[in-house]
Chain A
Amino acid sequence: MTLSIFLIVSAALFCIGLLAALSRRHAIFILIGIEMMLAAANINFIAFWRFAPQPAQPTGVMVAIFSIAIAAAEAAIGLAMVIAVYRHFRTTNVDQLDQLKG
């Protein structure tokens, strides 16, 4: 059990999130991919905190808590945007949202 095995699992999770964000065409699944990448970053924060010598402040835990709060705000705004886009264009397929394409 070393730190690197946690980092490898977190890298795998990040890449699965990247895969979802890049290859799905449904807007909700792009958001799900972004949430996965944020969760992988949280695993890194907690793993680095756990494997460091005990500091005076639980910094890694604090950063992970704030990161979770910001990810929740991002998910709420993103899903509201998906609903707003669906109202306008009647689709959630990001390939069809090309009104600004030159």
Chain B
Amino acid sequence: MNTVTFTIIAIFTLTFALAAATNPRLMHAALSFAVMFVGIAAFFFLLGAEFVGLVQIFVYVGAVAVLIVFTILLTRRDPEKTRGFNWGGVVIAIAVFVGLVWAILKSTSVSIAPPVIKALTVKQIGMALMGSYVWPLLCVGVLLTAALIGALILVLEDKRQ
């Protein structure tokens, strides 16, 4: 973990996050959102969690970003102006940021250097998922099935009318 890589990734991620949050053009903002998740995955690689980084890229850049682009295309004929911007949100966000940074800098227990740990292998993750995390895994499976059925029911056309 060196500081130069960290700084580059941090600037990259935060720039694209800001672009996604403030760009008035919907499609450009959605694409910035996808690129931002590559930056977040780079953070995970830097921290030694390669599996989570790859899952993040597959799930967000591969699936969620495509879903968002599809939704933008399906709701494009929006006759009203949807580009309004509420400046109250900026004030609240900056206030929350200042509060969080104050809390982080104030606490002494988080200014620690990374310990040397053994690399986490995918085999270990698989053993943990099938071992002590098998019930959460099954619950997530049920949740994803319910979400899939719920999303289908929500977007089905009502044929009775």
Contact B128 A57 (CB under 8 A): yes
Known contacts A14-B100, A83-B74, A93-B80: does B150 contact A22 (CB below 8 Å)? no
Known contacts A68-B52, A73-B144, A80-B150: does B40 contact A42 (CB below 8 Å)? yes
User: How many pairs of A and B residues are in contact by the CB < 8 Å rule?
Assistant: 248
Chain B residue numbers with a CB within 8 Å of A21 are 89
Contact B21 A16 (CB under 8 A): yes
Contact A1 B1 (CB under 8 A): yes
Known contacts A57-B128, A84-B155: does B55 contact A65 (CB below 8 Å)? yes
Q: B93 CB to closest chain A CB, in angstroms?
A: 4
- Contact pattern, B 78-112, Cβ under 8 Å of A = 1, otherwise 0: 11111111111110111011001100110000111
Of the residues B14, B26, B64, B92, contact of A26 by C-beta under 8 Å: B26
A24 to B74, CA, bound (A): 19
A–B pairs, 18, beta carbons within 8 Å: A6-B47, A19-B22, A19-B90, A24-B21, A25-B83, A32-B21, A35-B33, A39-B56, A42-B44, A46-B47, A49-B47, A57-B128, A58-B124, A62-B128, A75-B68, A82-B71, A86-B74, A93-B82
Contact B67 A66 (CB under 8 A): no
Chain A CB within 8 A of B151 CB: yes
Interface size on A, residues (CB 8 A): 74
Interface size on B, residues (CB 8 A): 87
Main secondary structure of the interface of A (DSSP, over half): helix
Q: What 7 A-B pairs have minimum CB-CB distances, sorted nearest first?
A: A23-B89, A22-B89, A73-B147, A20-B21, A19-B93, A80-B151, A15-B97
Known contacts A9-B13, A11-B100, A58-B128: does B133 contact A84 (CB below 8 Å)? no
Q: B141 CB to closest chain A CB, in angstroms?
A: 9
Q: A66 CB to closest chain B CB, in angstroms?
A: 6
Known: A49-B47, A64-B52. 17 other contacts (CB 8 A): A1-B2, A4-B111, A12-B97, A22-B93, A24-B21, A28-B75, A32-B30, A35-B33, A39-B60, A66-B140, A68-B56, A71-B64, A72-B144, A76-B67, A80-B150, A80-B151, A83-B155
- Contact pattern, B 106-141, Cβ under 8 Å of A = 1, otherwise 0: 000011111101101000110011001100100010
Q: Which residue of B lies closest to A59 (CB)?
A: B128
Q: B76 CB to closest chain A CB, in angstroms?
A: 10
